[in-house]
Amino acid sequence: MVHGLEELPRLPGGCAATVGNFDGVHLGHQRILAQARAASQQRNLPLAAVTFEPAPVRLLAPQKAPEPLMHLEQRTGALGAAGADTVVVLHTTRELLNMPAETFIRQVIVDRLAAAAVVEGDNFFFGHNRTGNVQMLAQMGRTLGFEVQVAEPVMIELDGRPVRISSSLIRQLIREGRVSDAARGLGRPYAMRGAAIRGHGRGTTLGYPTANLDCGQQLIPADGVYAGRALLGDTIFPAAVSVGTRPTFGRLSRAVEAYLLDYAGGPLYGSVLEVQVLQRLRGQQKYGKVEDLLAQMEQDVQHVRDSLKP
């Protein structure tokens, strides 16, 4: 990962490149990366993926900025897994956002990246006021000596109709708790990442010690109980994941809690976990008696085991 174009070493012969937010690195993004990878291999050049941190909308209209699907470390890792040899992180500034589209092409695509080929989606916009598009990019590419390819969008059938995969669609599905549908668009389960922090300790009291996850600004699924997996270091544990305000105990602050099945270690405070949510088992419920809650938790744990069987 390279932070800023200034740190990018000069690439002998240039590169193939793709530029975008890439939030989620979903199947649409993966198609762009695969096409860019093919273009790089045809030319025997490395593939550079350029992304922005934070997303430009967080500076332009912070009140409208959606929660990100990924932390930066997750995004850069996914871009590498999708075929990028180098991931360049452009730090989003007012100066960058005010750069005219033509200047962005000359200074970033040509001068710094020395791109021989650029692959984008048909909805790629860039430059001041988003005036740049793939048509402008292709036109200037013919003059400045790089090829532009446009990747076709990826469609899936959802609720009986074909829909285009996008980061916005993935966010909508996750907000609705439809994590299995979101996984179809992502090409993998949705994963939350964060440090385990101290909670109220109720899980330990009940016999189900949980790791409370601090996900920062990352999008959290709809309230409910999910079957999932937790990655702790190099070990994967089945996990029952609860999202919500724990109404049985008087509606506390909203939290993400993961009970790692078969984990026999000590407290996880400070450990970094990645928690995948695979299937929503039920919505959040309020129980009149703790005994009823315990019975339901026992069922939830069994449902997690059953759902993760090969």
* Whether residue 250 has pLDDT greater than 70: no
Sorted by sequence, the CB contacts under 8 Å of residue 218 that are 6+ apart come out as: 67, 68, 69, 70, 71, 192, 193, 194
Which pLDDT value is given to residue 285? Answer: 86
Mean pLDDT (whole number) for 44-65:
95
* Buried/exposed code over 149-165 (b: 16+ C-beta within 10 A; e: otherwise): bbbebbeeebeeeeeeb
Q: How confident is the model at residue 89 (pLDDT cuts 50, 70, 90)?
A: very high
Mean pLDDT (whole number) for 39-63:
95
Which pLDDT value is given to residue 201? Answer: 58
Phi, psi dihedral angles at 260 (to 5 degrees): -85, 110
Q: Please tell me the distance from the alpha carbon of residue 63 to that of residue 30, in angstroms, as a whole number.
A: 29
* Whether residue 203 has pLDDT greater than 70: no
Q: How many other C-beta atoms can be found within 10 angstroms of the C-beta atom of residue 278?
A: 20
Topology adopted by domain 2-152: Rossmann fold (3.40.50)
- Between 15-19, 172-176, 295-299, the lowest mean confidence (pLDDT) is in 295-299
Mean pLDDT (whole number) for 234-239:
96
Between the two ends of the chain, the Cα-to-Cα distance in Å is: 36
Residue ranges of the chain assigned to CATH 3.40.50.620: 2-152
Q: How many other C-beta atoms can be found within 10 angstroms of the C-beta atom of residue 7?
A: 10
Q: Please tell me the distance from the alpha carbon of residue 307 to that of residue 300, in angstroms, as a whole number.
A: 10
- Which CATH number does 189-307 carry? 2.40.30.30
Stated pTM of the model = 0.94
Mean pLDDT (whole number) for 243-256:
78
Mean pLDDT for the chain overall: 93
Residue ranges of the chain assigned to CATH 2.40.30.30: 189-307
